[in-house]
Structure 1
Amino acid sequence: MEGSVGSSWCFPDLNSSCRRLQQPHTETVLLYSLLAFISLLTVCLNLLVIVSISHFRRLHTPTNALLLSLAVSDLVVGLLVMPIEGVRHMEMCWLLGRLMCALTPYVSYCLLSASLGNMVLISIDRYLAICDPLLYSSKVSLSRVKGLICVCWACSLLYNGCILIGHLSQPDRFNTCHGECVVVISHISGTVDLFVTCVGPCTVMIVLYIRVFVVAVTQARAIRFNISSTAATTAPEVKPSEKKAARTLGIVILVFLICFSPYYYPAIAGVEISNLLSYFSVLSWIMLLNSCMNPLIYAMFYPWFRKAIKLIITFRILQPQSRETHF
C-alpha cells in the first residue's frame, strides 16, 4: 500500500546490501520539500551576506571580513552538507560511494571548526573594540584579519585531517553492509576534540563577552549618571555603533553556542561519537540549522544589511558607483 511503511534493499543487486526503510510517499515528499526549502534558504541568505560585504566598499571592515568568512562556511553547509545529510537520514542508505563517504564528514568537520574559529576571532575583535579602542584602531587592520582568517581555515583543515585520518584512509572499516557510511571517533579522540573545539573556545568566547558586557554597562552608567569613575575616565569612549555591533554579534555567538554544544553530548557522556547513534541526526541538524540563523540575526539587527538586501534584489548594485553606497 502507498501509505504503509516497509523495507527494501539499498542496492538490490548486491547480497551484502543494507536494508532501506521505506516511508509513506506523502511523508517523503514533505520531508524532501522541507529539506530543499531549508537548504535553499540557507544558501540564499548567506549569499546575500557575501555579496553585500564583498561589493560595497563601506562594508570592507575587519569585523565584516570575519562575518564574510562565517557566511562562506554557512553557504557551503547549505549547499553541500544539508542536502547530503538530509538524503542520508531520509533514505537510511548511503548512495554516494566510498570517496564521498570519506570526504563528506571531513568537509562537515572542517566547516564546523572554521565557524568556531571565526566565532572566537569575532569575540576577540569585539573585546578589543570595546575594552581597548585605541589598540583596536591602531593594531586591527583588514589585512591582518584576512591573514588570521586564512590561518583559521588552514588549522581547521589540518586538525580535522588528524582527527579523521582513520576514516579518510578506510571510510568503510566500520560498515556492516553495502549502503552505510559509518563515522566513529574513539573516546580518546572525542575527549581531545571536546576540549580543543568546544571547552577551550567556548570558555574564551564567554569570558571575553562577559568582559565586554561589564565594560559596556560601566560606560553606560557613567554616561547616564554623569559619574567620573575611573573606568570612564581612563578608557576612551566607545562609539555607539561599536556597542551595537557587540550586542548583535553577542547574540550570534550565543545562538551558535546553543546549537553547537549539544553535538558534544556523546563525548561528555563518555561514549564514542558515531553517526549510528539514535540521536545523532537530531544533534547534527540542530548544529546545521545555525547556518541559516546568522543572516536572519543580521537582518533583524543590522540596518546596513537590510539596505544592502534592497539594493541587491532590486538590481541597483549593477548601477555605476553602487560600490560607494553609504550605509
Structure 2
Amino acid sequence: MMQPVNENELCFPNLHNSSCRRTTRPPSTSMLIYITLSSISVLTVILNMLVVISISHFKKLHSPTNFLLLSLAVSDFLVGFLISFQIIQMDGCWYLGDVMCAMYLVLDYFITAASIGTMVLISVDRYVAVCFPFYYFSKVTAERTKMCILLCWASALLFHCLLLKENLQNPGRFKTCYGECVVFLNYFEGFLDLFFSFIGPITVIIVLYSRVFVVAVSQARSMRSQVAAVTLHGSVRFKAKKSEMKAAMILGVVVVVFLLCTCPYFCLVLAAQDVEVSASSVTFLLFYFNSTLNPLIYVLFYPWFRKSVKLILTLQILKPGSWETNVV
C-alpha cells in the first residue's frame, strides 16, 4: 500500500499527483549550497564585468587576442546570471513556467557553445602567433577577429535554436510533472550536440596547443643559445618572440583550466543514462566555476588587468580621455 505524499514534499501542493517532488536535504546542506552558488554567481558577474569594461574602455587593449578574451568574458559574465536559475531550482522545482524554462535551456546551451567556440579561436590565435609569427600581424587583424567572434556567437545561437526547435515550439511538452524543467534531444540530436559542443572543439584545442607548446619549447631553447650574441635588431625580435610565448603560456593556463573544469561534466554526461544525475553533481558546479576562475587567472598573470581594475575601482575611467591611458 502506497503511503500518502506529504504536501510539503511537492513543488505545487495544490496539484497533488501532477506535481513533481521536491529534493529534500538537511537545512545545513541547503544553506551551504545556496551560499556557494550565490557567491560563485556574484563573483563571476563582478570579475567578468571588470574584464569587459577594461578591454572595451582602454584603447591600448584593443588587440585581436584581447578581443577574444573580451568574448570569453562576456560569455562567462552571462554564465554568472545563469547560475541564479540553478539557485531558483535548488530544491528540484521549477517555478517560472514552461516558456521561461525553454528560454533558459536554449540560453544555457548557446552561451556554453559560444564560450567553447571562443576557446577554439584562442587556440587558433596562439597557434598562428607562435607557429607562424611572420604572418600573424598581417593575417590576424582586429577586424577579422571581430568577424570570427561574431560568426562564432551567431553560429552557436543558430545551431542550438535548430537543435532545440521542438522544445521551443512546444514548451513543457516533455515534462513528466509540474515543476520540472527538462530538455529533450533524440539520439542523433544528442550526438550532434556532444560532437559540436565537446568532442570536436576539445580535439581542435588539444591538437593546436600541443603544437604550440612543442614550437614554444623549441624557440625557447633557440633563444637561450642566441641571447648572449644578439644585436639591437635581434634584441627587438627576441623580446617580440618572448612576449608571444608568454601570452601563449598564460592562455595555455586558461585552456588547461577550462579542460579540467569542463571535461568531467561532459564525460559524465557521455556515460550517464540519466542527464539529471549529471546535472546535479559536483561536476556541474565545477563546470560553472570555470567562468569564475578565468578573471582570477588574468589577475595573477596580466599586469594590464590589475592596472585597469585599479583605474575602474577608483573611478579614474570617468575622466575625459581616460580611454587613452597606457595600461599595458
Aligned to 1:67: 69
* Contact 2:38/2:87 (<8 A) preserved: no
Deviation at 1:30, TM superposition (A): 3.5
Aligned to 1:244: 246
- For 2:246, the aligned partner's letter is K
The 1:87–1:300 alpha-carbon spacing in structure 2 relative to 1, beyond 3 Å, is: same
Aligned length: 311
Aligned residue for 2:146, secondary structure, equals helix
Deviates more, 1:144-153 or 1:9-18: 9-18
Deviation at 1:97, TM superposition (A): 0.4
The 1:268–1:98 alpha-carbon spacing in structure 2 relative to 1, beyond 3 Å, is: closer
Choose between structure 1 and 2: higher helix proportion: 2
Deviation at 1:10, TM superposition (A): 1.2
Deviation at 1:314, TM superposition (A): 1.3
**Alignment partners' CA distance in 2, 1:141 and 1:273:** 45
- For 2:280, the aligned partner's letter is S
Aligned to 1:280: 279
* Contact 1:184/1:273 (<8 A) preserved: no
The 1:203–1:105 alpha-carbon spacing in structure 2 relative to 1, beyond 3 Å, is: same
* Contact 1:187/1:272 (<8 A) preserved: no
Q: Per-residue CA shift, 1:62-95, capped at 9, x if unaligned?
A: 111011011111111102x10102321x221011
Aligned to 1:294: 294
Q: Per-residue CA shift, 1:161-209, capped at 9, x if unaligned?
A: 1222222223323322111112233333222222222222111111111
Deviates more, 1:42-51 or 1:21-30: 21-30
Q: Per-residue CA shift, 1:212-253, capped at 9, x if unaligned?
A: 1111111111121239xxxxx9xx754322211111101111
Q: How does 1:125-140 map to 2 (within 5 A)?
A: 125-140=125-140
Aligned residue for 2:307, secondary structure, equals helix
Task: Flag structure 1 segments of 5+ consecutive residues without an equivalent.
Answer: 228-232
* Contact 2:114/2:153 (<8 A) preserved: yes
Aligned residue for 2:9, secondary structure, equals strand
Aligned residue for 2:23, secondary structure, equals strand
Q: Normalization by structure 2: what TM-score?
A: 0.88
Aligned residue for 2:22, secondary structure, equals strand
- For 1:13, the aligned partner's letter is N
* Contact 2:79/2:111 (<8 A) preserved: yes
The 1:193–1:307 alpha-carbon spacing in structure 2 relative to 1, beyond 3 Å, is: same
Q: How does 1:135-174 map to 2 (within 5 A)?
A: 135-174=135-174
The 1:25–1:200 alpha-carbon spacing in structure 2 relative to 1, beyond 3 Å, is: closer
> Of residues 11, 27, 30 in structure 2, which corresponds to 1:28?
30
Deviation at 1:318, TM superposition (A): 1.7
Deviates more, 1:119-128 or 1:10-19: 10-19
**Alignment partners' CA distance in 2, 1:31 and 1:266:** 21
Deviation at 1:115, TM superposition (A): 0.5
* Contact 2:265/2:278 (<8 A) preserved: no
Q: Normalization by structure 1: what TM-score?
A: 0.89
Matched, 1:221 2:214: no
> RMSD over aligned Cα, in angstroms?
2.2
**Alignment partners' CA distance in 1, 2:135 and 2:307:** 31
The 1:198–1:266 alpha-carbon spacing in structure 2 relative to 1, beyond 3 Å, is: same
- For 2:10, the aligned partner's letter is W
Aligned residue for 1:174, secondary structure, equals coil
- For 1:285, the aligned partner's letter is L
- For 1:101, the aligned partner's letter is C
Instruction: Please identify runs of 4+ aligned residues in structure 1 that moved more than 6 A.
Output: none
Aligned residue for 2:197, secondary structure, equals helix
**Alignment partners' CA distance in 2, 1:281 and 1:28:** 13
The 1:54–1:184 alpha-carbon spacing in structure 2 relative to 1, beyond 3 Å, is: same
Matched, 1:192 2:192: yes
Deviation at 1:33, TM superposition (A): 2.4
* Contact 2:268/2:278 (<8 A) preserved: no
Deviation at 1:36, TM superposition (A): 1.7
Aligned to 2:231: none
Aligned to 1:99: 99
